[in-house]
Amino acid sequence: MAANDELEDWQKAQKTEVWEPVPSKVTADPGQPPSDATVLFDGTDLSAWESVNGGAAKWTVEDGVLTVKPGAGDIKTKQSFCDVQLHVEWRAPKPEADMEGQERNNSGVFLQQRYEIQVLDSHESETYPNGQAASVYKQSIPLVNATRAPEQWQEYDIIFTAPRFDGDELTSPAYVTVLHNGVLVQHHYELKGKTEWIGAPAYEAHGCAPIQLQDHSNEVSFRNIWVREIKPLK
């Protein structure tokens, strides 16, 4: 083989070209889930969901929108997930005059039923910043507050890397990136463990698990929920 300095530039360039594996084709039409996504709610029914208490999910589905039925309890996906790209759109109703802080139409998106991205009307309402909209609840304050006004639809795009365990031992923590209405608000944040209302976070060993939506006694609505499982390129 000729020495590198005897090669033409295109031959030198070929040395760093990688032709396999070839990524599979995915269509991503505007306003539509990617073709390889699992659609969790398309506006028609709750067939992908169930109550965390067992049995059918009992939230309200009307005009293409899923709304918390206060007192019905949290709902979770029937399918379990590990590493994912998750898209969720949510809307807080107009607040009552006396609603402030965490009472201002609260819900949450729980990855693997343990790690919460807060859903809250944080447009013009004060609360502890590590509990406002798009926070990793009680762990990470969002980089900015991108919350739209109540009664407007909000978008979360979440990239989640699940924790890894060897038996009961944590070998790699969970990481999460969150875009709120297209704005980066959590940048590859390393989770310290399960998000907790009281006490410090800690990890407990687990495998893949469902996505959970919270009934916090407020009529928060959701639509266009889909997820893509992140798998190594083969």
Residues 6 or more apart whose CB falls under 8 angstroms from that of 205 comprise: 165, 167, 168, 169, 170
Question: φ and ψ at 207, to 5 degrees?
Answer: -105, -160
- Which pLDDT does position 2 carry in this prediction? 54
- Which pLDDT does position 233 carry in this prediction? 87
- Which pLDDT does position 32 carry in this prediction? 94
Tell me: pLDDT of 59 over 60: yes
**Assessment of whether the complete model's pTM goes beyond 0.85:** yes
Report how far residue 157's alpha carbon sits from residue 87's, in angstroms, rounded to the nearest whole number.
5
Mean pLDDT across the stretch 107-124? Answer: 98
- Which pLDDT does position 151 carry in this prediction? 98
Running DSSP on this structure, what letter comes out for residue 140?
A: B
- Which pLDDT does position 4 carry in this prediction? 73
Report how far residue 136's alpha carbon sits from residue 117's, in angstroms, rounded to the nearest whole number.
5
* 234 — pLDDT class (breaks 50, 70, 90): confident
- pLDDT per residue as tens digits for the range 125-174: 999 999 999 999 999 999 999 999 999 999 999 999 999 999 999 999 99
Running DSSP on this structure, what letter comes out for residue 81?
A: B
Q: Considering only CA atoms, which of 103, 113, 45 is closest in space to residue 79?
A: 113
Tell me: pLDDT of 215 over 80: yes
Tell me: pLDDT of 122 over 80: yes
